[in-house]
Amino acid sequence: MTLEAFLVSIVSVMEVVLEFISVFCVIIGVIKTGQLTVSMLRRRQRRQSFPFLDVRLQFGVWLALALEFQLGADILATTIAPTFETLGKLGAIALIRTFLNYFLNQELVEEYRLQKKYNEPNSELDRENN
């Protein structure tokens, strides 16, 4: 076995491992978000609005993590891609995933800021609601 064949086999295995971790992150995110939702539904008062912000933050963090692992798998795949066409396709996929991750992170930062603002006593949101 040549060094090149050895590296190709290692990269292929690592690519599958990273993709598995990504899927695992989404599954864990769904489970954790479901648990949070059930917990919030049990604790909230009848006329109190449901805190979608907390649920979105919980799931968004897991999705961002999954996208990071997918991007890592894409980067590994480009190291063994044999043609320019394959490199171009993987580059486009990596670019799309990077943009998705960027905008998801921006949304998470904004959601976190709103949540922090909402949870502060005498916040602007409290004054608006009164």
Q: Please choose, from the candidates 80, 100, 84, 128, the residue with its C-alpha nearest in 3D space to the C-alpha of residue 22.
A: 100
pLDDT (0 to 100) of residue 23 = 97
Cα–Cα distance, 120 to 111 (Å, whole number): 14
Rg of the chain in Å (alpha carbons): 21
Q: What is the pLDDT of residues 60-81, one digit of tens each?
A: 889 889 988 988 888 888 787 6
Q: Domain locations in the chain?
A: 3-129
Residue 89 has pLDDT above 70, yes or no: yes
pTM of the complete model: 0.71
Mean pLDDT of 95-121: 82
Q: How many CB atoms lie within 10 A of CB 102?
A: 12
